[in-house]
Amino acid sequence: MTGEPWRAGRRGGFTLIEVLISTVLLSFLILLAGTVTRGSMSSTARSVALDTANGRTQRALDRARAHLASASLATLEAALPGDPALLPMADDVACDNIAFRQVVGFAAGAPLLDPDPAELPMRLWLQADSGSGSGGTLWFDDGTQAAPIAGEVVSLDITKSGRRLAIVIGFARPDAKQFATTGLSVALVVP
C-alpha cells in the first residue's frame, strides 16, 4: 500500500453526486439549445412573412404605377371615403377611389384617351371586405372588367398635389396587431 491512502478500497467510476451534477448541467444545455432553436425558427418565420408582405406591397404599387403612369391629369376624378360620388380631383384632398383615362396618343394636338370619353373610365379603389376584419381589397377596373390588385389592404390614400399623385397603401401585417404602410409618387406629365 504505497499508493494513495484515500483511494484504498474504492473502485473506479463516478459518485452519485457527480452523476447528478453532470445530468443537471447536460439538461440545462439541452434546454438552452432548444430555446435558442425555437426562437430562431420563430424569428425566421416572422422574417419570411414580412418579406412576403413587402413583396405583395411592392407588386401592388407597381401595378398601380403602371396603370397611372399615363393617366390624364384633366380626367382625374375622386370620391371621398364613404361617398361614392366622383368629382374632379382637388389638390391635397385624400381619397380612396379615383377614376381616370389614359392618354394613348395625340391627334391634331389633342390627347387620345382610353377609354373613350363616351365609355366608363378606369378606376382604382379600395373595397372593404365584409366581416373579415382584415381590411379590404384594392381593385382596378379598366372600364370593362374589374380585377383585384391586392388583398388585406387596411387603408388607401390617394392625394393629388399639382401634377403628382401620392399613393399610400396600408397592408395588414402578419402579426395582425399592426399594419405597414408604403407609398409611391407618380408624376402626371400628360394634361
pLDDT computed for residue 65 by the predictor: 80
- 111: phi then psi, degrees, rounded to nearest 5: -70, 140
At 19 the pLDDT is: 93
Provide Rg for the chain, Cα atoms: 32
Question: Which pLDDT score, from 0 to 100, does residue 179 have?
Answer: 63
Indicate the pTM of the whole model. 0.67
Rounded CA-CA distance 79/98 in Å is: 6
Beta strands in the chain (DSSP E): 77-79, 87-88, 97-100, 102-107, 110-114, 122-128, 136-141, 146-161, 164-172, 179-187
Distance CA 126, CA 149 (A): 10
Domain boundaries, the chain: 41-187
Give the Å distances, CA to CA, from 39 to 30, 49, 158.
14, 15, 39
- 85-113 tens-digit pLDDT: 889 999 999 888 999 998 888 899 888 88
Query: Which residue, 94, 98, 99, is CA-closest to 159?
Result: 94
Contact 183, 169 (CB under 8 A): yes
The pLDDT tens digits along the chain (191 residues) read 555 665 556 677 889 999 999 999 999 999 999 999 998 998 888 788 777 777 777 787 787 788 788 888 888 999 877 777 889 999 999 888 999 998 888 899 888 888 888 898 999 988 887 765 667 888 889 888 898 888 888 888 888 888 888 888 887 766 656 666 666 666 665 55
